[in-house]
Amino acid sequence: MRPDFIFRSGKYQGKTYSYVRRVDPRWLSWVEANRPEMLKEHGQPRSLDTQVGGIPRKLDTQEEGEERDTWTNPHTFYEIAQKMLRERGDI
């Protein structure tokens, strides 16, 4: 398996094979035994503008193993605002 293989689905969607091997080798063994189709290559890698289910998808630029700081992530504030508007009944 190529170390730069990227999982397209599952618990580690968007992560590389080498990252998963380093952080959770038991899960990788489970996939090899129970879901080998997850380890198949699927043509060209997706580009930044690829849409998944009609929703634009942006590749994660976070370094592997690095914790995401949710308070500097603009999406966190968007989710909080959406939740507040739903609770108020505005959307």
The pLDDT value given to residue 90? 81
- pLDDT, tens digit (0-9, with 9 covering 90-100), for 9-68: 888 888 999 999 999 999 999 999 999 998 888 765 555 455 555 555 555 555 555 555
CA distance 59 to 14: 8
Q: Over range 78-82, report the average pLDDT.
A: 84
At 81, the pLDDT band (50, 70, 90 cuts) reads confident
Both tokens of 57, joined, read 């998808």
Instruction: Give the global pTM.
Output: 0.46
